[in-house]
Amino acid sequence: MRKRVIAVICSCVMMIGCLSACGSKQETDSVDGSENLRIVATIFPVYDWIREILGENPAEIELTMLMDNGVDLHSFQPTATDILRVSSCDMFVYVGGESDQWVEDAMKEASNEKLKEINLMDTLGDDLEEEEVIEGMQPEEKDESEEPEYDEHIWLSLRNASVLCGRLAETIQEMDPEHAAIYEANVAAYQQKLADLDNEFQNIVNESTQKTVLFGDRFPFRYLTDDYDLNYYAAFAGCSAETEASFETISFLAGKVDEMKLGCVMTIEGSDQRIAETIIQNTKEKDQKILTMDSMQATTSKDAGRGATYLSVMEKNKDVLKEALQ
């Protein structure tokens, strides 16, 4: 159903494009007539990485964040304007998982023959992790013939972020060779900041006796926990559409809190915390804290305007993780 809707939107975009071409003599690929290079990124982390690479933006490249209304990539439905913006930009960057199936149809309508398309999951290749259902987790109904589904939350690994920023910088340098040295210096400085924060995360884990986190929520932090060899339990997988946990799931997670003497149950941003609260009420002590980590799936450019950055959010996640592992 979703693919059919996207196909209809793309058909509408093609008609709009044809009408625009007949009624205008503009010699530009830009939706608004600008001659500047245009980059479209689907999600906040990528948008912010590109901001860091551009720095003072000597070429005045126009950067747009597509998912900018607080809806995460799992629920995103592109509008005709979104498709038109993507099809006419110079560089389009997207995650590339199951949630981005709409991109294939959008690319068929691309009006810019020089458009550079970057699928971030393809960039990581063998470093991708399959989404998994572990012990105690609420399973989703799936067709057994389906191909493996890979975890889309690749940006929540600082190590992945460094690799992906390198690829983004290379492509921006190809687009704007005149300022290539500036972009190279910017990405190198940013990758050092990512490495420094990665070391801080590692030191926290090294100094902690507790090596397990438990989420009464979806779990998009698979890549982060794998980076630092942490164990986890959760109510749902990261891309799960489920919202209600069964008695068996609640009971299992509450039992794990007691067994491992965990001082907190964790959630992600935007959670109503009902599941976490129910887990706590089913433990022996019933006094655990609820801590929240931010997966940046609802962060907008308005948040960025108020000072939010990928690094600032990950810094806060580091502090939350430190408390959770005490």
Query: What is the domain count for the chain?
Result: 2
pTM of the predicted protein model: 0.89
**Which residue range(s) make up the domain with 230?**
209-295
Residues 68 and 156 in one domain: yes
**How confident is the model over 11-27, as pLDDT tens digits?**
444 433 433 433 333 33
Question: What are the pLDDT digits (tens) for 164-189?
Answer: 999 999 999 999 999 999 999 999 99
Looking at residue 144, its pLDDT comes to 58
Answer yes or no: do 259 and 226 share one domain: yes
Task: Please report, for residues 25, 114, 177, 290, the alpha-carbon distance to residue 28 in angstroms, rounded to integers and kept in the order given.
Answer: 9, 12, 20, 52
Q: For residue 96, is it within any domain? A: yes
Compute and round to an integer the Cα radius of gyration of the chain.
21
Residues 6+ apart with CB under 8 A from 56: 182
Strand order in the sheet with 91-94: 62-65, 38-41, 91-94, 116-119
Same domain, yes or no: 16 and 115: yes
| pLDDT tens-digit series, residues 231-264 | 999 999 887 777 789 999 999 999 999 999 999 9
Residue 51 belongs to domain with CATH number: 3.40.50.1980
Residue 308 lies in a domain: no
Same domain flag for 172 and 214 = no
